[in-house]
Structure 1
Amino acid sequence: MLSKSISSLAKRVSSGLTPLRSNPEFWLAGTIPWLKTEQLGEKFIYSTTEKISKIALKKTSIKICRPNTLTIAMYGEGKTRGNVSIIKSEMATNQACCNIELDPELADFEYVYYFLKTQYNELRSLSSGVRKNLNSEDIKNFVIRLPQELKDQRKVAAVLSALDAKIDCNNRINAELEAMAKALYDYWFVQFEFPDANGKPYKSSGGKMVYNDMLGREIPQGWVVGALSDWIAKDKTGDWGKDMAEGNYTLSVDCIRGTDINGLNGKGAVAAPTRFILEKNKGKILAPFDLVIEISGGSPTQSTGRLALMTSESIKRFSRPVICSNFCKAISLKNSPYAFNFAYLWKSAYENKVLFGWEGKTSGIKNLLFEAFTTKYVVCMPSQHLAQGFFDFVCPIEDMKQKRLKENDELALLRDWLLPLLMNGQVTVA
């Protein structure tokens, strides 16, 4: 194995730039992808949430990064700093990204990406200053261990890439399945084109609509209007228990935190810690079609209220009975066939920033005013027959998604076990 500094393997190491926000010509009608560190962490970056204009490219010193450039987060709160990704289309970055264009005759970009993934803590340890930021000079001098021959680097990368490719394939299939379910929800419950008695789209086939004063719009005749709380049978408060068995704290459980909710929905990892709770609190164990809601946390740009719907397949992703932490709340509905309707209603409110208006603050932590929101937020409820039809369509889709996510968890464990062994030469590829 060779030991080489990043600068000795690279054609260029540079950081990006943020064009002046106060100059609209740099941002209006932007067509050039512009990457921020908060997006880093996934293996490949194909697109960005913001774009800059060609004028910004012309009038500032910002540079375009070529495909297969590695980028490392030099700044960033929490776990962002030290994250690494591979840029897969031409784009610019902000100044918090250190961009590494490797010499393809010296190093395989995927091999170096995987090596840097094993060096996350070592990279973060280079941080300096009040804000504990990385700098590009330290990154240039960072040492990479790699096989001398490019073909050997590529063999190692190919093994790990195969696992990542399967994970990516599963994620893309899940995205298509979710799009199908969301499209049917919108068609039936937003556009009101659910099947009528003759199997035709209700509203466009002349189904009777009535104006509802509480909602300020027309809804299908016979639909019930009320608060979200009318759907809820009971809640299961969270529990943090103990980190080790002691005294009467003997019931071993996996504890879902707010940070695990995205992973349950297929957007990141689930790393629910093992906790020990009182045997008498086993009524807090989650069952299929319970809904877990984050009630404390959030950020200035993210409200509380993230939600995950538990199913038998999502519960199988855990090795122990599952509860939620005391920063979350779990609820059970009066009628489980309404579970997917409730989940889509809630997620719509969350995505449309409604929940920002239902937050209080205690000791600097934002709390969702759960009781106030659920008793005052008014929605319309379809018939149980229609809800059951939607449930029957979506439930198998959700099961398929969760099975793929469980497979992804297992593939990621295998990849992360192999990664240091391959990088250290303890395991070789023939």
Structure 2
Amino acid sequence: MKHTLPKEWQRVRLGDIALKIFSGGTPQSTKEEYYQGNIPWLNTGEVKNTRIYQTEKYITELGLQNSSAKWVKIDSVIIALYGATAGKVAINKIPLTTNQACCNIILNSKKAYYEYIYYAISNAYLHLFSLASGTARSNLSVSLIADYKIPLPPLAAQNNIARILSVLDSKIELNNRINKELENLAKLLYTRYFVEFNFPNEQGKPYKSSGGAMVYNETLKREIPKDWEVLKLSHRLHFERGAEFGTSSYAQSQLTPNYIKFYRVGDMLDSQNSVYIDSSKEDAPLINENDLLVSFDGSVGRVAYGLNGTYSSGIRKITDKHKLISQAGLFCIFNDSYIQYTITQYATGTNIKHAGAAVENLYMPYCESIFLSLQKEIEPIFALMKQTKTESHVLSKYRDFLLPLLMNNQVEALE
């Protein structure tokens, strides 16, 4: 539904406020000399209503010269044309190049403020998604984006609207950085206890460094503390597999209270792209913020927590049969480098990896009293991680509530 705009606002084509709109390109994948360079190269899967500070892949100058990839100047607006993120948008905070599935908009700063345009396109996501064409995949095009119209207030109002929304996003980004540091701290403590075996001995000194007895274990192919056991995780833990409901069941928003979020493997680390399903019509295995999820298909070995809804068959919900190992403890176990390596080693398939066979082959050195002692140290850290993540979810909901109101001038952004 189009709202009546104030007389000083306009509906403009994106092409009319841009200096340039173009897509990128992909260097030939079989040419090793085109990759592992120092030129950031953005994939459409990374465009998901966010700011880009780094890219997953980098290309060389040779790769740039021998492809349609082009430099995109800092603070441009980038829209995903197809794939799972079609219609999503990003701002690049570094100069970079992109693949052909990205539409790159270099704006005329005399007409449009890049952060306002970013939020205007974010607000139009559902409409852009519905405009996507194609059968096997949903495709937008550069020409469609150039012709797409958005509401445009005067520059001062653009700045005010963007300022309000970006304050919320900045706090979310800060929370993400805080959580990354807290996660690293929890992993460091786990490594000290269960990789280096320098947990406090009876005298409070680090066990292995102080000469604690070690014995070689044939299953793990390394030394472990004397009298410890080798725990087969499938004997101690439940691995509850998720379910598939088919794309025809997906909704892009919560249509009624019965609709719950459906997390696929790609949504585990960034839930902005998760879809909804009607839980009243589907037999969905439920999860809440106290559950731990691990992926065994696709991008295997991903670990997620703090999610509410249901999940796909490529993911397992992990719980302790004895109800002693907590979510915090499970988080550390499944981030262990040996566990991650084992999951990867059992992954088979070409396009999509399947590592379900790893479930029966996951082992760890274990002493219950030592583990519970470690868990007690980690719990306050993990509690703060969950609190920070919950705060980010609340801020995201508040931002998403404000976004259409500001874009339709239903509330005024004051200086």
- SS at 1:85's partner residue? strand
Matched, 1:177 2:182: yes
Choose from 33, 58, 70 the match for 1:51. 58
Give the partner amino acid of 1:133. N
- CA–CA distance in structure 1, aligned partners of residues 304 and 270 of structure 2: 11
Answer whether contact 1:255 1:324 (CA < 8 A) is retained: no
Give the corresponding residue for 1:345.
333
Answer whether contact 1:127 1:134 (CA < 8 A) is retained: yes
Which runs of structure 2 are paired with 1:109-258 in the superposition (5 Å)? 109-130=114-135, 131-147=137-153, 149-232=154-237, 257-258=262-263
Choose from 346, 350, 369 the match for 1:357. 346
Give the partner amino acid of 2:56. T
In structure 1, runs of 5+ residues without a counterpart are: 242-251
Which runs of structure 2 are paired with 1:22-421 in the superposition (5 Å)? 22-28=30-36, 30-76=37-83, 78=84, 80-130=85-135, 131-147=137-153, 149-232=154-237, 257-259=262-264, 267-269=270-272, 275=279, 291-292=292-293, 298-299=297-298, 302-303=299-300, 307-308=303-304, 314=306, 328-329=316-317, 331-334=319-322, 336-337=324-325, 340-348=328-336, 351-352=340-341, 354=343, 357=346, 369=356, 373-382=358-367, 384-421=368-405
Give the partner amino acid of 1:354. I
TM-score by length of 2: 0.81
Matched, 1:423 2:412: no
Give the partner amino acid of 2:48. G
Answer whether contact 1:174 1:401 (CA < 8 A) is retained: yes
In structure 2, runs of 5+ residues without a counterpart are: 1-8, 246-256
Relative distance call for 1:75 and 1:351 in structure 2 (3 A) is: farther
- CA–CA distance in structure 2, aligned partners of residues 45 and 262 of structure 1: 18
- SS at 2:140's partner residue? coil
Give the partner amino acid of 2:42. L
* 1:132 positional shift: 3.6
- SS at 1:99's partner residue? strand
Give the partner amino acid of 1:212. N
- SS at 1:72's partner residue? strand
Relative distance call for 1:190 and 1:256 in structure 2 (3 A) is: farther
- SS at 1:114's partner residue? helix
- CA–CA distance in structure 2, aligned partners of residues 346 and 47 of structure 1: 26
* 1:151 positional shift: 1.2
Relative distance call for 1:253 and 1:333 in structure 2 (3 A) is: farther
User: Which range moves more in the overlay, 66-75 or 183-192?
Assistant: 183-192
Relative distance call for 1:9 and 1:272 in structure 2 (3 A) is: closer
User: Which range moves more in the overlay, 36-45 or 223-232?
Assistant: 223-232
Matched, 1:5 2:13: yes
- CA–CA distance in structure 2, aligned partners of residues 254 and 413 of structure 1: 16
- CA–CA distance in structure 2, aligned partners of residues 194 and 368 of structure 1: 32
Answer whether contact 1:45 1:86 (CA < 8 A) is retained: yes
Answer whether contact 1:35 1:48 (CA < 8 A) is retained: yes
Choose from 16, 19, 25 the match for 2:27. 19
* 1:25 positional shift: 2.3
* 1:357 positional shift: 2.4
Relative distance call for 1:405 and 1:53 in structure 2 (3 A) is: same
Relative distance call for 1:293 and 1:71 in structure 2 (3 A) is: closer
User: Which range moves more in the overlay, 346-355 or 192-201?
Assistant: 346-355
* 1:238 positional shift: 7.0
* 1:187 positional shift: 2.1
Aligned pairs, number: 389
- CA–CA distance in structure 2, aligned partners of residues 59 and 368 of structure 1: 36
- SS at 2:72's partner residue? coil
Answer whether contact 1:254 1:323 (CA < 8 A) is retained: no
Aligned-pair Cα RMSD in Å: 3.5
TM-score by length of 1: 0.78
* 1:346 positional shift: 2.9
The C-alpha deviation readout for 1:335-387, integer Å capped at 9, x for no partner, is 51465444333344674362672789xxxx99875xx75554332113x3321
* 1:164 positional shift: 0.9
- CA–CA distance in structure 1, aligned partners of residues 348 and 64 of structure 2: 41
